[in-house]
Amino acid sequence: MNGGLLVAGTTSDAGKSVVTAGICRWLVRQGVKVAPFKAQNMSLNSFVTREGAEIGRAQAMQAQACRVEPTALMNPVLLKPGGERSSQVVLLGRPVGEMTARGYHGGRQERLLGTVLDSLAELRGSYDAVICEGAGSPAEINLRRTDIVNMGIARGAGLPVLVVGDIDRGGVFASFFGTVALLAPEDQALVAGFLVNKFRGDVSLLEPGLDMLHGLTGRRTYGVLPFRHGLGIDEEDGLRVSLRGTVRESAVDPPVGEDVLRVAVCAVPLMSNFTDVDALAAEPGVVVRFVDRPEELADADLVIVPGTRGTVRALEWLRERGLADGIARRVAEGRPVLGVCGGFQLLGEHIEDDVESRAGHVEGLGLLPVRVRFAREKTLTRPVGEALGERVEGYEIHHGVAEVLGGTPFLDGCRVGHTWGTHWHGSLESDGFRRAFLREVAAAAGRRFVPAPGTSFAALREEQLDRLGDLIEQHADTDALWRLIESGAPSGLPFVPPGAPA
């Protein structure tokens, strides 16, 4: 078997990442050797592979759904926004420069199609099936000429296309029809059919519409997935704690101690890898929320300043909003604060940045004895160490190089009192370390909170992925899906006018 499928969507956030992960987990449970693929991802949530390549976190989680190690081939192009108009371009896991959207779509993107197709071909040569995820909508007619992630990759690799629509938003039938009708005949020939996502209620009430859609487009619907709370995997972007909803529903045990622990995460601009706090939200009795006002820090037992693609910009934002003063008061009172990556850097004494913001010398918050200099070479590593008497694993993605001048060593950073700073993302996923850290936070905050002894974040992730696989197995026509992956789009699919504009 050398199968493939492109999971496209009527819109962004239609459920492409979730459906791709679900199909991957369903296939691997059938004994199929499968890999995920997304030609081009735009996200500030990224991950470091074992070979030191940076890829989108969604593809790393899809690789986990496949029970394989993630590689750069699974996400050959990653765009990391640095502002309203520009992004860092990461090619095969390594940054190659900054580019405006106009410059990228004006020619650079087309030149990457060969790299993308080569990466996909290499994966297909090593796996029985590759399940690809599109981006946005395949009917973005203004971008079709330079497309390398939707119909461009589908046509280049001869992939059948399954279009996912979020019925919870409304207008799903119009979205399905319009998506097909705005594609060129050659692209339409690859669109095999549809998958309805997030349906609530009696499916029999939907069936007449599905029959009419089939009559209008000549394409069938491969399944209707019911609405389930908290079925997201690691988010590409946004302000949601991606596992919080699921964990709150599946981990129904009450707090072990008498108190809950409240965590406030500063919603800094260009926030990156906010998935770091998912592991805290997985703990019974830990309440995590994002905040952007100083008064929201008052009742927090722990304040986290997360990673950001714009450290200097985030520092300015904290000062403008009064959050910087609120954090400084907490530190003076001995109340817990944790800075991660960019959040760690801005807690230091000063920053020399001629790379990211090009602001030169900038005074930090002065809450940790650290000086930061931005290097042009990006640090991409998967460190392993020990803190608070527990083994810790993490990953690093940063241009800033920290010179630690004092305090007590803490991972690659330091701590002073109850203020901690580190470049390590993902450290709180190490269960023993997370529990030890929360015990320290609870003691400093005067809370009678006790971490649950049996919470395994890795097990919760596996449970999540299995639930996604169950959705596909129970609510999709898996026999038809298998034929689609194995044999490609059905022949003779009708053209739906008007097609793409000339």
Residue 123 and residue 34: Cα distance in Å, rounded?
9
Burial 204-228 (b: 16+ CB within 10 A, else e): eebeeebeebeeebbbebbbbbeee
Mapping DSSP onto H, E and C, the string for 217-241 reads: HCCEEEEEEECCCCCCCCCCCCCCC
In terms of DSSP H, where are the helices of 53-171?
57-66, 101-103, 109-111, 113-126, 151-157
CA distances from 281 to 89, 232, 265, 276, 285 (A): 31, 14, 12, 10, 9
The first and second tokens of residue 113, run together, are 């199609």
Asked if 18 and 28 touch (Cβ cutoff 8 Å), the reply is no
Total residues found in the chain within this entry: 502
Asked if 392 and 376 touch (Cβ cutoff 8 Å), the reply is no
Active-site residue, selected from the candidate residues 132, 266, 341, 414:
341
425 is annotated as an active-site residue = yes
Residue 388 and residue 395: Cα distance in Å, rounded?
18
The first and second tokens of residue 369, run together, are 């004895």
**CA 147 centroid distance within chain:** 21
Residue 489 and residue 192: Cα distance in Å, rounded?
5
Asked if 403 and 253 touch (Cβ cutoff 8 Å), the reply is no
Burial 309-320 (b: 16+ CB within 10 A, else e): bbbbbbbbbbee
The first and second tokens of residue 187, run together, are 């692209």
414 is annotated as an active-site residue = no
Active-site residue, selected from the candidate residues 398, 399, 423, 425:
425
What are the residue numbers of the active site? 341, 425
